[in-house]
Amino acid sequence: MPELPEVENLRMGLAKNILNQKILSVEIGKPKLVSGKGTLRKISTKKKTQFIKGVVGEKFIGVERRAKNLIFKLTHGKILIAHLKMSGQFVYQKKNGQNAIIGGHPIELSETKLPNKHSHIIFKLSNGVLYYNDTRMFGYVLYYSDLKTFEAENHFAMYGVEPLSKEFTPKYFFESLKNKKGRAKGRTGKIKALLMDQKIVTGLGNIYADESLFEAKIRPDRQAMSISSKETTRLHKAIIRIIKRAIKVGGSSVATYRLLDNTRGNYAREHKVYGKDGEKCQNCKKPLTKTIVAGRTTIFCPSCQR
């Protein structure tokens, strides 16, 4: 799944291409993708009708992001929210049918043929076409007629703060890690698991959790409760630096993720632990090692990270 820097790059690419364009028509092949809320997908043809009726004739006036969700602002206060999940992809194709630009998970067909069998939502715009393709259909694009209806669903209630927001302070981070034990029953309480569960700080997945913990010299399998104030400050600083840097260079070159301009992200060149099991640690030259935290492969340096 793309992490924050990759979704942020997709957001920027979409904003550059679709803003101020009018939606001339929408085709929805799979009502499931526009039904329900959050991860609950109850197929509703009523939702499909509302979606189409609601957005046709409106213009895209903003593309925002919260955690890994994309929020499209339309004229008349209307809102679309999209999450790519495991296999979603946006493709914007200009009017001349060329220069298809792709953001999200790679779907081979999208490079040669559009629409294809995975193009489930198709927005015809004044200057081009925006496709939402999804092979496994865990993603979604939901329509809300106004901000109030959107907010009533509390879509983002489960998320913690954004790592680049001013709410993400060392104090907030430290207190959250300490409180976590009681609030998150049934969780392992390991620091990497808490970084990835989005409830304290959003946007970190496997790559950026491993990289941040390496930079902060903290073992990924440490109990979060045991992390000192000094260590928390180090981790806080590492998260911000790494997320900022990854956004700047276009995210990570993950095999299952592409950027909107069809290039691969460059942050992968700067990975120090992710995907480097058995390689030498860049600090101490001893071999990196592998463990499993929260069901995910986790690479770290047992000598630098304590």
Judge whether 151 counts as a catalytic residue. no
CB of 207 to Zn ion, least distance (A): 18
Instruction: Tell me the number of residues near Zn ion by CB under 5 A.
Output: 6
- Residue 190 has which token pair? 């390991």
Based on the shown chain and the rule CB under 5 A, indicate whether residue 147 belongs to the binding site for Zn ion.
Answer: no
65 or 219: whose CB is closer to Zn ion? 219
CB of 235 to Zn ion, least distance (A): 17
CB of 272 to Zn ion, least distance (A): 9
Judge whether 68 counts as a catalytic residue. yes
70 or 304: whose CB is closer to Zn ion? 304
Of the candidates 32, 68, 180, 276, the residue annotated as catalytic is 68
Of the candidates 124, 237, 296, 302, the residue annotated as catalytic is 296
CB of 228 to Zn ion, least distance (A): 20
d(CA 245, CA 148): 35
Considering Cα of 280, then 283, then 286, then 287, what sign does the dihedral take? Answer: negative
CB of 219 to Zn ion, least distance (A): 11
d(CA 147, CA 138): 24
Of the candidates 2, 31, 115, 163, the residue annotated as catalytic is 2
Judge whether 3 counts as a catalytic residue. yes
Judge whether 231 counts as a catalytic residue. no
7 or 304: whose CB is closer to Zn ion? 304
32 or 276: whose CB is closer to Zn ion? 276
CB 270 within 8 A of CB 255: no
157-176 residues in contact with Zn ion (CB under 5 A) are none
Based on the shown chain and the rule CB under 5 A, indicate whether residue 301 belongs to the binding site for Zn ion.
Answer: yes
263 or 283: whose CB is closer to Zn ion? 283
58 or 277: whose CB is closer to Zn ion? 277
240-299 residues in contact with Zn ion (CB under 5 A) are 281, 283-284
> Given the rule CB under 5 A, which residues bind Zn ion?
281, 283-284, 301, 303-304
Residues classed as catalytic:
2-3, 68, 296
